[in-house]
């Protein structure tokens, strides 16, 4: 059986923290699906097509990575793509409390899908897409937080 993990998120934009987690997950799984969740109630800074393009640029040489998008519950998406695991990054205690609750609910609903937590590296634990979006909107320097390909497209 293929060990398949879904790393769900908005990736609006993808950050160096996300990239680090993905690279660290690669040796653990046969396939890593980076899945952009679409929530019609949420306002995104970047279009879905832009976010997919960035992901393709960043991971174009990695054959174990699949880039996809989905609507609805992450658990239902995992069932559809036959993933046995969900990958989540933990930056701090607040992340842990939130993610633990979600993983426990997920386990109650579907005992066949495990949540795997990876702790952010200390030098990346302060990086979040929310903060990066705020910096971009305020015309701040985000070069320490996002890959060069994103910096180039921001102009």
Could you tell me which CATH number the domain at 4-154 has? 3.40.50.620
Residues contacting 151, CB < 8 A, separation 6+? 142, 143
Catalytic residues: 18, 42, 91, 129
pLDDT at position 154 is 81
pLDDT of residue 55 exceeding 90, the answer is yes
**Would you list the domain boundaries of the chain?**
4-154
pLDDT of residue 155 exceeding 80, the answer is no
The pLDDT of 62-90, averaged and rounded, is 97
pLDDT at position 134 is 93
pLDDT at position 39 is 87
pLDDT at position 84 is 97
Token pair for 48: 């879905």
Beta bridge partners of 70: 37
Q: Which helix (H) or strand (E) holds 108?
A: helix 93-109
- The pLDDT tens digits for 77-123 are 999 999 999 999 999 999 999 999 999 999 999 999 999 999 999 89
pLDDT at position 12 is 95
pLDDT at position 23 is 97
Task: Please count the other Cβ atoms lying within 10 Å of the Cβ belonging to residue 128.
Answer: 19
Please state, rounded to an integer, the average pLDDT across all residues of the chain.
Answer: 94
């Amino acid at each position: 059986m293929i060990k398949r993990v879904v790393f769900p998120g908005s990736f609006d934009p993808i950050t160096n923290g996300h990239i680090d987690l993905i690279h660290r997950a690669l040796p653990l799984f046969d396939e890593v699906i980076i899945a952009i969740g679409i929530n019609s109630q949420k306002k995104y800074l970047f279009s879905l097509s832009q976010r997919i393009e960035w992901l393709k640029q960043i991971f174009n040489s990695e054959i174990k990575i699949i880039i996809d998008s989905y609507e609805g519950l992450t658990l239902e998406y995992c069932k559809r793509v036959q993933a046995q695991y969900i990958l989540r990054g933990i930056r701090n205690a607040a992340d842990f409390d939130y993610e633990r609750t979600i993983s426990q609910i997920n386990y109650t609903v579907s005992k066949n899908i495990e949540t795997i937590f990876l702790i952010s590296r200390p030098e990346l634990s302060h990086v979040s897409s929310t903060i990066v979006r705020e910096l971009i909107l305020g015309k701040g320097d985000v070069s320490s937080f996002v890959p060069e390909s994103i910096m180039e497209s921001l102009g």
